[in-house]
Structure 1
Amino acid sequence: MGAAVLITDAAGRALLVEPAYKDCWEIVGGCVDADESPRQAAVREAKEELGKSIVPGRLLVADWVPPRPDRTEGVMFVYDGGTLDGHGTADIHLPPDELRSWAWCDQEQIWDRMSERLARRITAALRAKAEGTMVDLEDGFHTH
């Protein structure tokens, strides 16, 4: 099980991070630890990855992820991480052993930098944030 926060700027671009250990970009998040709720994991991951205390808002996406050869099935929760401006990003501190960089990305950049599965999830999360809804996905696809 995993949890993440979708942080946007005033233009509606998503804050993506570039992991040091893989090629595709992601949003801030990670695995839920034992005895930790998805919301608590989102808070912890934001602190670890950005050095910021983010209070997640409402749930935007619940995405069932099917098993793969190297992983069991799981569920990924994406929470609204709020909107940051230039002042809010000035104190971002990335862990150099985990993340190379971060960037504000529009829809085209999301599809260029992320895996197709993650791009589907983040595109759905952006739409849910803009429309005030919550989306139920399976492998990044709408269930209905």
Structure 2
Amino acid sequence: MPDLAYYASLPRTRGAAAALLLDDLGRVLLVKPTYKEGWFLPGGVIEAGESPLAACVRECEEELGLVPRLDGLVCVDWGPPRDGVDAVNVFVFAGSLTAAEIAAIRLPPDELSDHVLVAPEKVPELAPPHVSRRMEPSLRGLVEHRAVYLEDGREPGYGSAPLASAPRPGGPG
């Protein structure tokens, strides 16, 4: 039987999930919250017992009034504590929106005041730095069909040697 007291004593990490949704012109969907400054990808906090993907789907349905087609995880970004808020792991899932889906978007007025489609290079003009830093790596992950790992929107160094040239167990070096 697991030691429940031990597990209850372990630190907990907050999580969030976001949707990087592109239209057929490659523009990114951003939403404007009513409760904070700036524009963000649709998404939000992962609830207790919820998977990151389930949170992303739920948040899109709540915020946009629809469930977009998601193509997979493109980014995991560890966000450090800031402004009195604990660290958070952000999972970014990519997907696409048709013109009909864009026309059908229904924002909850108590939570979101607007939405916009912008070219990826315009995101830094609208989004907070910690969000806009994820854009290029997330788009690269989408193109490369893989998830990128970031720390505060930046790819971390992996010691003195680049990861690709680091010795592998059982291999030469």
Aligned match for 2:150, one of 134, 137, 140 = 137
Alignment partner, residue 56 of structure 2: 42
Which structure has the bigger radius of gyration?
2
TM, length-normalised to structure 1: 0.93
**Counterpart-to-counterpart distance in 2, 1:67 and 1:130:** 30
Higher relative contact order (CA 8 A, sep 6+): 1
In the other structure, the counterpart of 1:60 is 74
1:126 alignment partner in structure 2 = 139
**Counterpart pick for 1:110 among 120, 123, 141:** 123
2:6 corresponds to: none
- Greater shift after overlay, 91-100 or 68-77? 68-77
Structure 1 residue 54: deviation in Å? 2.7
Distance 1:41 1:100 in 2: 21
Tell me which residue corresponds to 1:99.
112
Matched, 1:70 2:84: yes
**Poorly superposed stretches of 4+, deviation over 4 Å:** none
Q: Which runs of 5+ in 2 are unaligned?
A: 1-14, 158-173
Q: Percentage identity across aligned positions? A: 39
Matches of 1:125 and 1:10, distance apart in 2: 17
Provide the TM-score with structure 2 as the length reference: 0.78
